[in-house]
Amino acid sequence: MTDASAEVKAPKPSAVGIFLEEVRRSSLLIPVLAIVSGLLLGGLIVGLTSKSFYEVWSTSPVQAIGNGVKAAWESYVTLFAGAFGTPSRIQAALESGDALAIRRAFNPFFESLVKSIPYMFAGLAVALGFRTGLFNIGVEGQIFLGGIFSVWVGYTFTGLPAFIHLPLAFLAGALGGALWGFIPGLLKAKTGGHEVINTIMMNYIAFRLTDWLLREPMKRPGSTNPISPIIEESAKLPRFFEDPIRFHLGFFVALAVAALVYWFLFKTKWGFDLRTVGANPRAARYAGMNIVKSTIVAMSLSGALAGMAGANELLGVNYNLSQSFSPGYGFDSIALALLGRNHPVGVVLSALLFGTLRNGAVRMQASAGIPIDIISVMQAFILAFIAAPAIVRTIYRLKEPKKAEAEIHVSGWGGS
Amino acid sequence: MSATTSTFEMGPVYVPQARRRVLGFVFLGIAAFIWFAFLRGVDPTMNTSMRLYPGGSTVVVDDWVFRTQNALWVMAAGCAAVGAFQLVRGFGRRTSLAFAMVGGMFVFAFLSWAASGGTLNLAGMLRIMVVRSVPLTLGALSGILCDRAGVVNIAIEGMMLTAAMIGTIVGSISTLWIGLLGAVLAGGLLGLVHAVMSIKYRTDQIISGTVINIFAVGITSFISGKFMQPMPQFNDPGIFVPYEIPLLGQIPFLGPVLFRHNIFVYAMIFFVVFLTFMLFKTRWGLRHRAVGEHPKAADTLGIDVFRTRYMAVILGGMMAGLAGAYFTLGSVGKFDQVMTAGRGFIALAAMIFGNWTPIGAMIAGLLFGFSDSLAASLALLRVKIPSEFLLMSPYIITMLVLAGVVGRGQMPAADGTPYEKE
């Protein structure tokens, strides 16, 4: 707005011009362009690797390009149909009035929401870390610890009423994640060991620990597979619909936790302290803030949020622990948190996007034969464009922003 | 210089004196543990025998048989002696070496005890250790090349994975050697991407590395699922066969362990020696390190910081590419999804444990390779220690090193900070 008034002397700008100017300078533009570029480049790879492209390329390149674009377009149509459902099918189901058919028709949409829940928790974990100056790459391991703790509580205690058992199992998951965040936090605060390396190492320790637990102490009796017992009914997150819709209470828990994180970070003194330590540790120290305590608390909280992602998956969807219950939610959530500008609202929106993409990609893999891993490629592109806004600005010829963007810096890894 | 978040001087001031004592007591504690846990329960008449040639070897030597009890006494006494010296005088700069010695003695004591009354194929185990250490050491060298010039490289894993796949595809449609070249170039290309992102666009180097890691997992699994699994002709590059070095390969025990490998093991040894020389004895190395320690001073003296960093990261990528080629062309001869399985991060750990030096990295790589090989042969021994715990050890050791428990590493001072010309 200030722009328009400052340029009074300039030739009268049209309303559209002002709007475009605002859009070009807005901080929302970079994330949107990053998503668009990621989808385009993902489509490019799908097109280039489609059979109709490379088999025709040597005879007729023009036709091949047409085929490639068509293949990419068709796979995105499949992806979004897989993520939201097909209108014609929904209509047919509604007309038939069959309850099961209606649930099946709406299932893709709800499944996207289900897939976005762990992303919300994990994204909040990474975002809280970044806001407090910590790069938590250990979310994946913390998710596993959360899963281990919650599943153990879920199948060990029997006969508890659900209103005790479920919160207990969920909080146990948070505790497990917090423990896995606490250790690197403590090491960072007390010895200066960089949290990036320590959390990476903690990831792999968590994986090996899971392998062992599923091979020995937590193995389901009588099973030959590395898989834990099934949790009690009283520990399951309630679902709102009958099969096949898996939409469960965790979605609203995640929204509530996001609101809580927002309130904590931006409306309380503790949150302010943590953010100050993250933004400028030196100033925080002169202001008398306890940096050691802040670092430990921040890493533990971040770990607790990640642990909730694991608890949510196992109490709401899987009901038992296996080695592959997380398809890399923790690693994806780094891109996700940065896409959401490390703000709880942004994280929730990005999580919905990532959940939608992942769910759609599952269907795309099944029906169009395109491996789901294309999602990771897209996420890598999105992350690259978000982390280096200069690249996006170069590609789309955008102007420099008015104020310097908060660059993400993690610094070298000696710590001190 | 752009704002960095974690240059806070915090935590208790580090007291070397106290650490020296603590470490001395730790060594004595290990000696006591050998006595308490192993020695007391051993039957005095029991023997341990160690086979000194791997299976299938033509050079056959007699098994090395000794009284278990005697070996344990020697090891316990050795640990106690090192601990006592550490308490009284201290090893100073060689503390890591002392730690490695005690660790080695402990492992030997453990093996003697675990194999007591049976036979352990020591040569076979050491041979596997050497083989398993190849990707770790080469990966660590990649990290050293980048870090020494001030660019953090956590993308070793992604570079190795991509190179492993490209090497397989290129090797399948052409020859093995061209496949190797393809793998090295693929690594170099990702190095270039990392360099452009972190040097030109000044993306945070850890995020840039994360981008490459995520991208590598995605693209290799995608191509593998789309092309290599349905069309096995793209997944059959063959394997580099072992080559026995004349004369050296005939040495009993050492020959089969060290000198009958494929080119990757020899490449590892060559590059460790070569890089040590290049980094620490040549003008090129001095400039390279200067850029990592104090880029501004280096710039003032006329060294092109950007060019040096670009070269370092591209060379580092190529080294990671070589490490990646090992997984397919040097080991199993086909590509599987996410087959590097976190080895790139163990390589990172080896680099830190090796204190950013090539020789240190190789020692660390051998140590971590040994824990790998030990985990594989644990099932054959009579003790039941879950192999998963052994596989955790590289990660735990790295965290201890970073925490300063086991000798404080000296990382390049400007590691991780982007350089801006003023």
**Do A49 and B210 make contact, defined as CB atoms within 8 angstroms?**
no
Mutate to test the interface with A, among B2, B5, B391, B405 (most CBs of A within 10 A): B5
**Do B207 and A387 make contact, defined as CB atoms within 8 angstroms?**
yes
Residues 329-348 of A with CB under 8 A from B: 331-332, 334-335, 338
**Do B7 and A281 make contact, defined as CB atoms within 8 angstroms?**
yes
Residues 141-160 of A with CB under 8 A from B: none
B390: closest CA of chain A, how far (Å): 9
Q: Which candidate from B12, B392, B417 shows the least CB-CB separation from A412?
A: B417
For chain B, say whether A200 makes contact (Cβ under 8 Å): yes
B97: closest CA of chain A, how far (Å): 21
Cβ contacts of A204 on chain B, cutoff 8 Å: 342, 345-346, 392, 395
Q: What is the pLDDT of residue A225?
A: 86
Q: Which candidate from B4, B218, B409 shows the least CB-CB separation from A374?
A: B218
Q: What is the pLDDT of residue B161?
A: 95
Q: What is the pLDDT of residue A149?
A: 95
Chunked into runs of 10 residues, chain A (416 residues) has average pLDDT values of 47 67 67 88 88 81 86 87 86 86 88 94 94 91 95 91 92 96 91 85 93 89 88 90 88 95 92 88 85 91 96 93 88 88 91 92 85 89 84 73 52 42
pTM: 0.86
A270: closest CA of chain B, how far (Å): 19
Cβ contacts of B368 on chain A, cutoff 8 Å: none
- Sorted by where each begins, the domain ranges of chain A are 117-339
Mutate to test the interface with B, among A37, A144, A198, A201 (most CBs of B within 10 A): A201
Instruction: ipTM value, please give it.
Output: 0.84
Query: Can you give the three-state secondary structure of chain A, one letter per residue?
Result: CHHHHHCCCCCCCCHHHHHHHHHHHCCCHHHHHHHHHHHHHHHHHHHHCCHHHHCCCCCCHHHHHHHHHHHHHHHHHHHHHHHHCCHHHHHHHHHHCCHHHHHHHHHHHHHHHHHHHHHHHHHHHHHHHHHCCCCCCCHHHHHHHHHHHHHHHHHHCCCCCHHHHHHHHHHHHHHHHHHHHHHHHHHHHHHCCCHHHHHHHHHHHHHHHHHHHHHCCCCCCCCCCCECCCCCHHHCCCECCCCCCCCECHHHHHHHHHHHHHHHHHHCHHHHHHHHHHHCHHHHHHCCCCHHHHHHHHHHHHHHHHHHHHHHHHHHHHCCCECCCCCCHHHHHHHHHHHCCCCHHHHHHHHHHHHHHHHHHHHHHHHHCCCCCHHHHHHHHHHHHHHCHHHHHHHHCCCCCCCCCCCCCCCCCCCC
Cβ contacts of B226 on chain A, cutoff 8 Å: 49, 369-371
Mutate to test the interface with B, among A182, A191, A219 (most CBs of B within 10 A): A191
B342: nearest CA partner in chain A = A204
Cβ contacts of B211 on chain A, cutoff 8 Å: 380, 383-384, 387
Q: Which candidate from A192, A201, A279 shows the least CB-CB separation from B349?
A: A201
Q: How far apart are CA A47 and CA A74, in angstroms?
A: 10
pLDDT in tens, B147-199: 999 998 989 999 999 999 999 999 999 899 999 999 999 999 999 999 998 88
Cβ contacts of A332 on chain B, cutoff 8 Å: 214
Cβ contacts of B388 on chain A, cutoff 8 Å: 208-209, 211-212, 215
**Do B404 and A373 make contact, defined as CB atoms within 8 angstroms?**
no
Residue pairs spanning A and B at CB distance below 8 A: 208
- Sorted by where each begins, the domain ranges of chain B are 12-117, 122-386
Q: Which candidate from B210, B342, B416 shows the least CB-CB separation from A334?
A: B210
Mutate to test the interface with B, among A134, A195, A200 (most CBs of B within 10 A): A200
A414: closest CA of chain B, how far (Å): 7
- Name the token pair of A159: 């006969």
A101: closest CA of chain B, how far (Å): 33
Q: Which candidate from B5, B201, B221 shows the least CB-CB separation from A411?
A: B5
Task: Name residues of chain B where pLDDT drops below 70.
Answer: 1-17, 55-59, 93, 379-384, 405-410, 422
Q: How far apart are CA A68 and CA A72, in angstroms?
A: 6
Cβ contacts of A380 on chain B, cutoff 8 Å: 211-212, 214-215, 218
**Do B3 and A338 make contact, defined as CB atoms within 8 angstroms?**
no
β-bridge mates for residue B120, sequence order: B50
B219: closest CA of chain A, how far (Å): 6
Q: What is the pLDDT of residue B312?
A: 94
Q: What is the pLDDT of residue A351?
A: 94
Class of domain B122-386: mainly alpha
**Do A202 and B395 make contact, defined as CB atoms within 8 angstroms?**
yes
Q: How far apart are CA A276 and CA A284, in angstroms?
A: 6
